[in-house]
Amino acid sequence: MQPNTFVIIPTYNEAENIQRLVTEVLELPVDVGVIVVDDNSPDGTGDQAEAMAQAYPGRVHVVHRPGKLGLGTAYTAGFELALGQPGAAWAMTMDADFSHLPSYIPAMIACGRDKHIVIGSRYVPGGGTANWPLRRRVLSWCSNTFARLALGLTAHDTTAGFRLYRRAVLEMVRPESIRSSGYSFLVEMLFRCERSGFQVEEVPIIFEDRREGQSKISWKEVVRAMLTVFRLIPCRLKRREPPRLLDSESA
């Protein structure tokens, strides 16, 4: 049977993580497939992902890109492949480094039955971060709060990459037209979703610091995310769509 949910995992140098992560996702008691989007990682992550695709035909797919093209376009390449799969009704995104534990996926999918978007969130009761240095915690909390207040978002974790989107959301907000990458992409995507009237829910998660490998986040990315927030502020003045119902509610 074809999975109805595809978990998109962008990777750049995640050879220590990818096979274990994909295995854990596939072993969950939910109907999911996996799409790895690898940017020709020098450490051979792409080959490892390919080996998983051979071992699980139809359940694991790999998009190989020629070089490091950024997280935003990696997500959109994953969405495109996911939506092209027969029976695909939801697409998830998660990091490859075990900061987003696969064990939260079933709760997010359950929550997605009557919501348009579900966020695995650090900033709702029960959520949080583990093993993160104080500097990183302060930076994350401040940028989240700034984005939330400046853009009038209802979600509390605005930069989270652990998300579940319903097909209709991706078809309407057209993520491929978002030019920014990384955190900027995530904030802009959430902004578009909320402005379009889609219902967002947050499931608490404990975000753990990466287990293996190197961080790819840079100060440049944080500054770019701030600039994205400033660029979007004028769009707040445009009309906001009324809350949307799920197809099943409007039938």
Ligand X SMILES: Nc1nc2c(ncn2[C@@H]2O[C@H](COP(=O)(O)OP(=O)(O)OP(=O)(O)O)[C@@H](O)[C@H]2O)c(=O)[nH]1
By the criterion CB under 6 A, which residues form the site for ligand X? 10-12, 14, 37-39, 68-71, 74, 95-97, 99, 210, 215-217
Closest separation between CB of residue 197 and ligand X, Å? 29
Structural contact between residues 151 and 189, judged by C-beta atoms closer than 8 angstroms: no
Asked if 14 interacts with Mg ion (CB under 5 A), we say no
- Asked if 3 contacts 82 with a C-beta cutoff of 8 angstroms, the reply is no
Binding of Mg ion by 97 (CB under 5 A): yes
Among Mg ion, ligand X, none, partner that 194 touches (CB below 5 to 8 angstroms by kind) = none
Q: Which is nearer to ligand X, 67 or 243 (CB)?
A: 67
Q: Which is nearer to ligand X, 160 or 200 (CB)?
A: 160
Query: In angstroms, what is the minimal distance from the CB of 134 to ligand X?
Result: 14
Choice between 119 and 232, CB closer to Mg ion: 119
39 contacts: CB under 8 Å, gap ≥ 6:
10, 11, 12, 65, 66, 67, 68, 69, 74
Q: What is the 3-state secondary structure (H, E, C) of 29-56?
A: CCCEEEEEEECCCCCCHHHHHHHHHHHC
Task: Compose the 57-96 pattern: x for residues touching Mg ion by CB under 5 A, - for all others.
Answer: --------------------------------------x-
Q: Percent helix, strand and coil across the chain, each rounded to 5?
A: 45, 15, 40
